[in-house]
Amino acid sequence: MEKKTNQTIFSIFTLLLLFASSVSAQLRTGFYQNSCPNVESIVRNAVRQKFQQTFVTAPATLRLFFHDCFVRGCDASIMIASPSERDHPDDMSLAGDGFDTVVKAKQAVDRDPRCRNKVSCADILALATREVVVLTGGPSYPVELGRRDGRLSTKASVQNNLPQPGFNLNQLNAMFNRHGLSQTDMIALSGAHTLGFAHCGKFSNRIYNFSPRTRIDPSLNSGYALQLRQMCPQRVDPRIAINMDPTSPRTFDNAYFKNLQQGKGLFTSDQVLFTDQRSRATVNSFANSETAFRQAFISAITKLGRVGVMTGNAGEIRRDCSRVN
């Protein structure tokens, strides 16, 4: 009887330990308040400096964060130099200015003796993402911190883990749901397409070869389709890129959703959010209310920042974001 009681007490104790470790492993704001109290202002200043040099800093950093979190979780594995995730075709179009933003911010953090080698590249990327949203007129929000950097980065791990321009609503939902993100989260995060650009090859089928019956995708606004044909003639240089938001491409706003209402979503995966009845109401809500979009975006990007994170003693704090220690 005594043996059984001892086993029960031991089991409860073990469970309590596991629970305590999982709670302590949660991300939190103010994670660096003792080890690097100025980390947020240091990153903010570094990102501002980079943004003043080139606007591409904003969309490039946002996209980098998304690509990082959807493959192996938010662990800065996307930052590791080749051979790595960066060799996959889905990541080869990531603009160099996003990587450079993180590198510059990391260097700035490490120049502070209190902070040197204490702040992960994964956390710096999360903070930099918030800063570029703010710099382009978007909402500020608290960033949870405490991520560790991953030690693995492979080309193979990217395969089938990032949404594609031709995805329908079911495919989008399935991929986002895998990471604990709802349809509303997915639509709010898609709103980040209010910034940035896409290469012609990513949507050329919608304006030239949609189907044997119709060359142009009927869900695409016909005037917009003709504009796109002018900007992306057939056999165009594959490096040519087009703004994803034709109305206010340098402002983080709800114009993306207003564009969808007019048939001006650049990718099939954009326009389907309006053409599919199951998601149209959310698009209309965000188009009608900038506040509704901002609130949903803050919730969604906070949840995105928790995907697959390593905390505690897992992973490492990379000294150089482009290589494991």
Q: How far lies 255's CA from each of 5, 141, 259, 282, 290, in Å?
A: 64, 20, 6, 14, 9
Q: Which residues pair with 145 in a beta bridge?
A: 28
67 is catalytic: yes
Return d(Cα 264, Cα 287) in angstroms, integer.
Answer: 13
125-160 burial, b for 16+ CB within 10 Å, e for fewer? bbbbbbbbbbbbebbebebbbbbbbbeebbbeebee
Give the integer Cα–Cα distance in Å for 33 and 48: 22
- What are the angstrom distances between the C-alpha of 111 and each of 139, 263, 325? 29, 48, 18
Nearest residue to 130 (alpha-carbon basis) of 33, 273, 216, 29:
29
In which element (H, E) is residue 243 found?
strand 241-243
Residue ranges of the annotated binding site for Ca(2+) are 68, 71, 73, 75, 77, 85, 194, 245, 253
Question: Among 67, 88, 179, 199, which one carries the catalytic annotation?
Answer: 67
CA dist., res. 131 & res. 309, Å (int): 21
Q: Which residues are annotated as a binding site for heme b?
A: 193
Q: What angle do CA 20, 24, 28 make, to 5 degrees?
A: 150
The binding site comprises 68, 71, 73, 75, 77, 85, 163, 193-194, 245, 253
Measured distance CA(88)–CA(154) in Å, rounded: 9
- Which amino acids are annotated as binding site for substrate, given as ranges? 163
Indicate which residues carry an active-site annotation. Answer: 67
